[in-house]
A and B are shown apart, each in its own frame.
Chain A
Amino acid sequence: MTASPPPPVAASQVQVGFGLAKYILRATFRNKAGYFFSFIFPLVFVLVFGMLGNGRTRVRLGVPTDHNRTNPVYAQVENATQAADSPLELVSDSRPALEDQLRRGKIAGILADGPGSPATVTLVTADRPSRDRELVESYLQGLVASMSLRAAGVTQPAFQLARSAVPGRAHRHIDFILPGQIGFSMLSLATFGIAYNLATLRRTLVLKRMFATAVRPLTFVVAQGLSRSLQAVIQAAVLILVGVVAFQFTLVNGWVTLLQMLGLSFLGILSFIGFGILMSNVAEDEHTLPVVLNLFNLPQVLLAGVFFSIDDLPAWIQVIGNNLPLSYLNNSLRKVALDGAGLLEVWPYLLGMFAWAAVAYVLAARTFKVE
């Protein structure tokens, strides 16, 4: 060698970060298996729950085939349940078969003859309280009472229930499910996606080789975060699109709401990535990783309003459920999507996400390992 080449100029870590993000993103999109947990799962859940929520379930009431056909109550019930918005659906079968169904909870009650007067009917129900039973009882009570009034020639009853309505929108099951599935998708991508990727890169010494260059670990983490977040936002957009096109998911303020939801998804995954890195640090190897990941993810999937509302939980569990990293994202997504709240209005949730993220990133940085 005659003359030494000039030493390479130290590259700005920002340039390195963006450059790295480009290649990581390319690799990420080529990894087909990577879509499974974070995208296919939530997509399937959206499709299944979307379809479930579309058919309203009616309460089933049994009418024996040999009932007294001269009794006007039957005719009235039959007539009323034919309406499209009727909460009841009639099931016709032999008495013993219906009783069997009642015992097994398949129907809420049986409408039987008597006793006594041919204009009387008996509602047979199971001897345990249930919402369906209450509904059948009050529905029939109202029906019989109005028949009695009419029979007595009362056209102006002394007490009446008048009705009026304010404009509202139909809340469908999809409106609840979709924001939760977006949150679930963000969480899975940040944990399963990132943690497995890091564990593999460590085992194959790719990280060691990378950090033998001018790349600093922080730059690599930021590049990973950037590319994963972009992937995440695209996934969230596709989930919303499927929800809107297939199941008329409510976007209260249209495009604005869509952009707000994507913005929240971006913040959400950023706040979760710290946990993904942390768990890959904590796990001994790729075999213990699923245990660690599920210990973190499963309670959140159950308690943070992914499949059912946090409000349905016992009060003390609600305290936990409302303060998990995922619940802050889910709750803010629902506020924005369903109540039309602006991003500034959901600041308490953003603060919660930020607090969890700060804890995760500090711990992840302290436990970070190259090999």
Chain B
Amino acid sequence: MKDIIEVRDLVKKYGDAAAVDGVSFQVERGSIFGLLGPNGAGKTTTLEIIETLKPATSGTVLVDGLDVRKDAAAIRGRIGIQLESAGFYPYLNLTELLEMFGVMYGVPVRPSELLAKFGLEEKAASPYAKLSLGLKQRFSLATTLVNDPRLVFLDEPTRGLDPQARINLWEVIRDIRERGVTVVFTTHYMDEAEQLCDTLVIMDHGRVLAEGTPSGLIRNLVDRGFERPVEVRPATLEDVFLDLTGRALRDS
């Protein structure tokens, strides 16, 4: 089975309004897959249906060969989820939170090992609320690996991060893929999608507008005669910023 996710003709309606309106795509096993689109495009709804958190109105979704309608419990055991802006149980430290997730998934967990993988070993005894935004996002990613999943979903994992933390998180995401875990993520940053995605889908108004590799999609556009209005510069403002402030992760 080459594809770990297969979505066919997916529809999700709220009353008469279709949040997702006939979406189809596949995600190749072991890849980083991007789901792009403006706010309200239907990205999060599509993700939540694949994650078994919402029922579809119609269509088929297979995750690792399992049907989301029939095998929700089994699918939940095989996937890791990061929800956009979700918090964690209050008054517990990072170690305890990971242990608690282990209990919830019914799997043994070695918190110190997992925290070390994400460079959080020094924060093991800190409560989640005391972490910086960048570390919060990194911890949030760590929790998606508690059940040793085959597939993780990350909903806007770099939202609100400074350039250093963002670049650091890209490394973490690539590292997750290196372990053989498929990564599905959403973002509003096109440079990020270009850097990270093996393949991506661009959605709007509940429909898929384009699908392919970043370079393939760019080539298509250029082939249609598109020209960038300004000359491509040898450096960007982000390059300036990182040159001045360094790439090291900030911790406050």
Contact = CB atoms under 8 A, between A and B. Distances in A.
Interface of A: 1-2, 4-5, 7-12, 15-16, 19-20, 22-24, 26-28, 30-31, 200-201, 204-206, 208-215
The 4 A-B pairs with the shortest beta carbon distances in the complex, nearest first, are A11-B106, A1-B180, A204-B87, A19-B103
B104 A213 contact: yes
Contacts of A12: 106
B53 interface: yes
B85 interface: yes
A214 B77 contact: yes
B209 interface: no
Contacts of A27: 89-92
Interface in B73-109: 73-74, 76-78, 81, 83, 85-92, 96, 99-101, 103-107
A217 to B, nearest CB: 12
Nearest to B127: A30
Nearest to B147: A8
B90 A8 contact: no
B183 to A, nearest CB: 13
Contacts of A205: 83, 85-87
Contacts of B52: 212
A10 B96 CA distance: 21
Contacts of B78: 7-8
A140 B53 CA distance: 81
Given A27-B91, A201-B89, A204-B87, A7 B74 contact: yes
B92 A23 contact: yes
Interface centre among A7, A15, A24, A212 (most CB of B within 10 A): A212
A7 B78 CA distance: 7
Interface of B: 29-30, 51-53, 73-74, 76-78, 81, 83, 85-92, 96, 99-101, 103-107, 147-148, 150, 179-181
Given A214-B104, A214-B105, A23 B76 contact: no
A5 B150 contact: yes
23 contacts: A1-B29, A1-B179, A7-B77, A8-B77, A8-B78, A8-B105, A9-B106, A11-B103, A19-B100, A23-B92, A26-B91, A26-B92, A27-B89, A27-B90, A28-B91, A205-B83, A205-B87, A208-B53, A208-B86, A212-B52, A213-B76, A213-B101, A214-B105
Given A5-B150, A7-B78, A23 B106 contact: no
B182 to A, nearest CB: 9
Given A5-B150, A16-B103, A212-B83, A10 B73 contact: yes
B86 A26 contact: no
B86 A10 contact: no
A23 B150 contact: no
Contacts of B87: 204-206
A368 to B, nearest CB: 15
A205 B90 CA distance: 12
B83 A31 contact: no
Contacts of B101: 213
A223 to B, nearest CB: 10
Interface centre among A4, A5, A201, A213 (most CB of B within 10 A): A213
